[in-house]
Amino acid sequence: MKNPSSDCTEILVGKAASMDGSTIVARNEDGYGPINPIKFVAHAAKDQEDAFYISKTTGVKVPLPNHAYRYTATPQADQSDGQYEEAGINELNVGMSSTETTATNARVLGYDPLVHDGVDEEAMLTLVLPYVKTAKEGVLRLGELLEEYGTGESNSIAFNDKNEVWLLETAGGHHWAAMRLPDDAYAIVPNQTVMEEVDVSDPENYLIATDLIDFVEKHHLNPNPDHFNFREIFGTQSEADAYYNTPRTWYGQKLFNPEIEQEPTSQKMPMVRKPSKKIAIEDVEYFLSSHYNGTKYDPFGTFASGTANEQRQFRSIAMDRNQASSILQIRNDVDDNHAAIQWLALGFFAYSPYVPFYTNITDTPEDYKNTTNEVSVDNMYWLEKTLSVMIEPHYHEYSDMVHAYLDACQSYARQRIEVTDEVIDGFNNDVSQFLTSSNMKTAAEVTKRTHQLFNDLVKKGLMLSKTTWEKGQNL
């Protein structure tokens, strides 16, 4: 079973709420502890008659469809307890992010306990993403697996294609519901069940487990029978939620709806809001790499002074357990053969750039797929993790250098997308091979800049020692 400290933060953006008409599913993967090496890979399409998936974690054995589509993924480097592929986009431009750890309340678990031989986080993307043609199909396939095999965890899982964004939340061992995010809205998802009203009569926008209504009625689980509020029926609203989860929703909604007054510990904040202005990729990056910047709750005390207790009061979004952050962007203003981009950051996201990888590819850069279990600055995961060890003790001394590096990498990323898109328009050769080569060039430049930052930080750090002593300084 998943370690309970494996938690994440997620944001979903509908196509009419994004600046360029993209759908966006984005999530930080925060691991079991500060160390959980991650790599970025591309799986080839394949035919596989009579194939099965067997989980290293739960032992569940699931038959697989005869054909698997190509897809990208961000698995663990150490797969002794499973792959945990986490986030990727398949060749049909369907994105999947799995999972956001949530919780089912004790009352529900009394009637539908978690199971220990079912489909858990480590298997979900591997069992679903290679086999679906749309985001909605992803929901339906995962829902069927949950009902048949059960799960040992409470999770939310997000899907997107060029038109739709869907969020599925599990409840107990075998139950679930899913909703289609309104096109003109965004949603913040911390480690808490967040889905509210579910209209079971509207299958275009809501999907549920086959026996969900009967299950709720049989066990008298709905405290407000005039509504079907998934959060109230299945979720938790604890004191722990108010300090671990809701502040992240508060901060995200503060960024995208600054006109709304809310308390960080409020349990009444809605899941879905319409942003006060369109949301760009940079806005998503800022949220996912934030630490209550500009408030008294910032553990770095960046812009506003807070007491030591206030700076440690809430669980930060950028934190030591950050491992990999993927922004799955499906664009609508370009051809399908290059519409999907997986923006990937590794390490501690407050210091790590997001690198755009087209996902219609055959391979990934060597220093993104060769992640080792031991520290090595020859792969990007450990290089970024090493930078965080250097930066955090001297954050304010290094801040200008780090932010100049991040801004330059983001501008370069935008330039690379622009150039690549322009070349592909009217391109008659192998698009996948061209995009693979383009990704390699983009990543190589970011790697080069990251090593340069490493060099500059070491040299500056050597000048910051508390043991510095100039001969004759006290004469």
Q: With beta carbons less than 8 A apart as the criterion, state whether 55 and 120 touch.
A: yes
Three-state DSSP at 374 gives: coil
- Catalytic residue, chosen from 2, 7, 8, 281, is 8
- Give dist(CA 340, CA 95) in Å, integer: 9
Q: Return phi, psi of residue 101, to 5°.
A: -65, 130
DSSP letter for each residue of 307-373: -HHHHTSS--SS-TTEEEEEEEEE-SSS-GGG-EEEEEEES-TTT---EEEESS-S---HHHH---S
Token pair of 236 as six digits: 């938790």
Q: With beta carbons less than 8 A apart as the criterion, state whether 356 and 413 touch.
A: yes
8 is catalytic: yes
- Give dist(CA 169, CA 172) in Å, integer: 10
- For 114, 152, 239, the CA distances from 149, given in Å and listed in that order, are 11, 10, 32
- Give dist(CA 125, CA 142) in Å, integer: 9
Q: What share of the chain is helix, strand, coil (3-state, %, to 5)?
A: 35, 20, 45
User: How many whole angstroms from its chain centre is CA 399?
Assistant: 25
H-assigned helices in 105-181? 106-111, 121-128, 135-149
Residues annotated as catalytic are 8
